[in-house]
Amino acid sequence: MEMIEKIINGDRKVAAKLITLAENDFNQAQNILKELYSYTGNALVIGITGPPGAGKSTITDQLTKSLRKQGKTVGIVAIDPTSPFTGGALLGDRIRMQDLSTDQGVFIRSMGTRGNLGGLSPATQSTVRILDALGKDIIFIETVGVGQAEVEIVKVADMVVLITMPGMGDDIQIIKAGIMEIGDILVVNKADKEGCERLVTEIEMMLDFNPKSKWRPPVLKTIAIDNIGIQELLQEINNHLKYLNESGELEQRRQESAKKEIFDLIQEKWKEILSSSINNGFLNKIAAKIVKREEDPYTAVKKLSNILIHSYTQGGMNK
Amino acid sequence: MDKKKIRVLVAKPGLDGHDRGAKIVARALRDAGMEVIYTGLRQTPEQIVETAIQEDVNVIGLSILSGAHTHLFPRIMELLKENKVEDIVVIGGGVIPEEDIYELKKIGIAEVFTPGTNTKDIIKFIQEKVK
Ligand SMILES: Nc1nc2c(ncn2[C@@H]2O[C@H](COP(=O)(O)OP(=O)(O)O)[C@@H](O)[C@H]2O)c(=O)[nH]1
Ligand SMILES: [Mg+2]
């Protein structure tokens, strides 16, 4: 396939078009992504998450600059929330990454969450794979960490760097909100601001109470705008990568992610099959019966499921 | 299955001051359901074109205050051509004299919106151009 050839030879224009296709029409994109799959798996995927304004984009920019000096190529997927009311999104992460935009060793793509509650875009996984095939060594995924996003990001990233900052009022709430669970490395950015030391101490204390994993997340201080602490952060990323490899956890995580992906995709597939195989007239009839109390919804669903399962085991699965 | 969204790069080339106008337009486009990539101040034509390619935008909206449009716009059109990008609609906004607008349209700028233009007109223009 010509498109595949071009992407693995580094054609950023074709890569950009394929990302758009994955966002707009995933069914069609799958036909290409399946051919691309064998060219992926070489990049290290790092999730950068945390509350808005903590400095995720600034840190990603600084990390990328350091990696470029080491000769590494970088892909960045920067995700911002889509408005649930208008469907529009203001994607502003590039403001902090201006110097990177003409570097041919860097590819940045901004995306809206497009209705995904998890904070990731539905096309995030596809985009990561496209950038991987494009030859990027390290891929950063920047997402706003609120609630569910943290759980989502571990499906796609090999490791997660959690960024927070002092002075957010309810510091400790943010840490409690499940975020600690998924951060492999914890960063307190804006160390030039008041309250940094206290926040670090609080985080360390929480870690003392939660010694559940073999890996204790290091807690780092950075001043991203002045490029302070970035080398140390890179060092910790390397340490963690070493740990993931040596402990076999990287393998394990990737297998776990693959399992989740299969489950997600199969759910999507079945939703599609369902909505195309139950016709509306039939549905209306049952609904009318339910409203008149001639039938209850529980029994109706049970019956319907049996009919569907029966029809698919009779050879209707070739969809 | 088609979940196409219009993607717009709002950029502010040149060295002059603030980006109030660009931000107002960016928000209006977002509120009209578009995905707006906003890159901040002082973008070079090279940065703008490379960003437009990576982000695969349908539209580049350029906001210019100073008189720099006479060389910045042509340079951007030139770079787009060099990169064989033919499917991006380029529009401009700012204080631009009538006779210059004529010249800009000749080199391929789709439309120029002068101060006071209702953002609704910009939205409508984009929606009609991007099909
Ligand atoms: N004082 C201070 N400000 C910072 C630091 N890092 C980033 N910022 C600023 O914080 C704001 C938000 O940064 P950004 O990287 O966009 O945060 P994001 O929303 O998490 O991506 C910007 O105005 C940055 O310039 C820092 O270390 N110290
Ligand atoms: Mg950001």
pLDDT tens digits, A101-112: 999 999 999 999
pLDDT of A318: 47
- Does A46 have pLDDT greater than 70? yes
Higher pLDDT, A179 or A202: A202
Taking CA–CA distances from A99, the nearest residue in chain B reads B47
Instruction: Specify the 3-state DSSP secondary structure of B60.
Output: strand
Query: What is the average pLDDT across A201-218?
Result: 83
Chain A, 107 to 126: residues with Cβ < 8 Å from chain B are 107-112, 114
Tally the residues of chain B. 131
DSSP B13: B
Interface test with A, best of B2, B37, B51, B122 (most A CBs within 10 A): B37
- Does A43 have pLDDT greater than 80? yes
How many whole angstroms separate alpha carbon B87 and alpha carbon A267? Answer: 36
Using a CB–CB cutoff of 8 Å, tell me whether A95 touches chain B. Answer: yes
Instruction: Please report which helix (H) or strand (E) contains residue A143, including its range.
Output: strand A138-144
| Neighbour count for residue A215 (Cβ, 10 Å) | 15
Answer for the pair A98, B40: CB distance below 8 angstroms, yes or no. yes
Instruction: Specify the 3-state DSSP secondary structure of A160.
Output: strand
What is the ipTM for the molecules in this complex? 0.94
DSSP B114: -
How many distinct structural domains can be found in chain B?
A: 1
Pairing state between β A44-50 and A159-164: parallel
Using a CB–CB cutoff of 8 Å, tell me whether B118 touches chain A. Answer: no
Taking CA–CA distances from B86, the nearest residue in chain A reads A13
How many whole angstroms separate alpha carbon A122 and alpha carbon A50? Answer: 19
Arithmetic mean of pLDDT over chain A = 89
- Does B2 have pLDDT greater than 60? no
User: A167: closest CA among A204, A193, A203?
Assistant: A193
Instruction: Specify the 3-state DSSP secondary structure of A161.
Output: strand
pLDDT tens digits, B66-106: 677 788 899 999 999 999 998 999 999 888 888 889 999 99
How many whole angstroms separate alpha carbon A297 and alpha carbon A84? Answer: 30
Using a CB–CB cutoff of 8 Å, tell me whether B11 touches chain A. Answer: no
pLDDT tens digits, A113-139: 887 766 677 799 999 999 999 999 999
Tally the residues of chain A. 319
Answer for the pair A62, A99: CB distance below 8 angstroms, yes or no. no
What is the nearest CA distance from A236 to chain B, expressed in angstroms?
A: 30
Q: Please give the number of the atom of ligand 1 that sits closest to the Cα of A226.
A: 27
Instruction: Specify the 3-state DSSP secondary structure of A103.
Output: coil
pLDDT of A148: 57
Answer for the pair A84, A46: CB distance below 8 angstroms, yes or no. no
How many whole angstroms separate alpha carbon A87 and alpha carbon B36? Answer: 11
pLDDT of A176: 57
How many whole angstroms separate alpha carbon B87 and alpha carbon A307? Answer: 49
User: A159 pairs with which residues across the strands?
Assistant: A46
Taking CA–CA distances from B40, the nearest residue in chain A reads A95
User: What pTM did the predictor assign?
Assistant: 0.92
How many whole angstroms separate alpha carbon A39 and alpha carbon A16? Answer: 17
B131 is a domain residue: no
pLDDT tens digits, A64-103: 999 999 999 999 999 999 998 999 999 999 999 999 999 9
Nearest protein Cα to ligand 1, atom 1: A190
Q: A17: CA distance to ligand 2 center in Å?
A: 23
Q: What is the CATH number of the domain that holds B105?
A: 3.40.50.280
Instruction: Please report which helix (H) or strand (E) contains residue B36, including its range.
Output: strand B35-38
Question: Over the Cα atoms of chain B, what is R_g?
Answer: 14
pLDDT of A319: 41
| Neighbour count for residue A315 (Cβ, 10 Å) | 7
Query: What is the average pLDDT across A140-162?
Result: 82
**Following CA atoms A160, A163, A168, A171 in sequence, which dihedral angle do they give, to the nearest 10 degrees?**
50
pLDDT tens digits, B11-31: 988 776 677 888 899 999 999
What is the nearest CA distance from A261 to chain B, expressed in angstroms?
A: 20
The boundaries of the domain holding residue B118 are 7-126
Q: Which of A136-140, A175-179, A270-274 is least confident?
A: A175-179
* Token duo for residue B32: 């009209």
Which residues in chain B have Cβ-Cβ distances shorter than 8 Å to A101? 39, 47, 50-51, 54
- Does A144 have pLDDT greater than 80? yes
Instruction: Specify the 3-state DSSP secondary structure of B116.
Output: coil
Q: Where are the domains of chain A?
A: 2-249, 259-313
Q: How far is CA A167 from the centre of its chain?
A: 27
Protein residues with C-beta less than 5 angstroms from the ion ligand 2 = A 56-57, 93
Which residues in chain A have Cβ-Cβ distances shorter than 8 Å to B32? 86, 88
Ligand 1 and A109: CB distance under 6 A: no
pLDDT of A317: 47
pLDDT tens digits, A228-242: 999 999 999 999 999
Q: How confident is the model at residue A170 (pLDDT cuts 50, 70, 90)?
A: low
Distances (CA, A) of A216 to A108, A203, A269: 31, 12, 39
> In what order do the strands lie in the sheet containing A89-91?
A89-91, B35-38, B7-11, B59-64, B89-94, B111-113
Q: How confident is the model at residue A146 (pLDDT cuts 50, 70, 90)?
A: low
**Following CA atoms A255, A248, A245, A164 in sequence, which dihedral angle do they give, to the nearest 10 degrees?**
70
Higher pLDDT, B114 or A315: B114
CATH number at A2-249 = 3.40.50.300
Which residues in chain B have Cβ-Cβ distances shorter than 8 Å to A94? 37-40, 51
Query: What is the average pLDDT across B53-74?
Result: 88
Cα A93–Cα A94–Cα A100 angle in degrees, nearest 5: 135
Ligand 1 and A190: CB distance under 6 A: yes
Contact state of A102 with B44 under an 8 Å Cβ cutoff = yes
B114 is a domain residue: yes
Contact state of B35 with A88 under an 8 Å Cβ cutoff = yes
pLDDT of A51: 86
Question: DSSP string covering A272-311, please?
Answer: HHHHHHS-HHHHHHHHHHHHTTSS-HHHHHHHHHHHHHHH
pLDDT of B130: 94
- Does A168 have pLDDT greater than 60? yes
Contact state of B26 with A90 under an 8 Å Cβ cutoff = yes
Using a CB–CB cutoff of 8 Å, tell me whether B127 touches chain A. Answer: no
What is the maximum span of chain B, computed from C-alpha positions, in angstroms?
Answer: 45
Higher pLDDT, B37 or A319: B37
Query: What is the average pLDDT across A192-199?
Result: 92
Q: List all residues 6 or more positions away from A305 whose beta carbon is below 8 Å from its beta carbon.
A: none
A71, exposed or middle or buried, with CB in 10 Å at 0-12, 13-18, 19+? exposed
Taking CA–CA distances from A112, the nearest residue in chain B reads B35
Contact state of B3 with A112 under an 8 Å Cβ cutoff = no
The beta-carbon neighbor of A24 closest among B2, B39, B85 is B2
pLDDT of A149: 53
Distances (CA, A) of B117 to A188, A218, B22, B25: 44, 53, 13, 10
The residue type found at A309 is I
* Token duo for residue B106: 């000749």
How many whole angstroms separate alpha carbon B73 and alpha carbon B63? Answer: 10
Which residues in chain A have Cβ-Cβ distances shorter than 8 Å to B31? 83, 86, 88
Interface test with A, best of B55, B81, B83, B84 (most A CBs within 10 A): B55
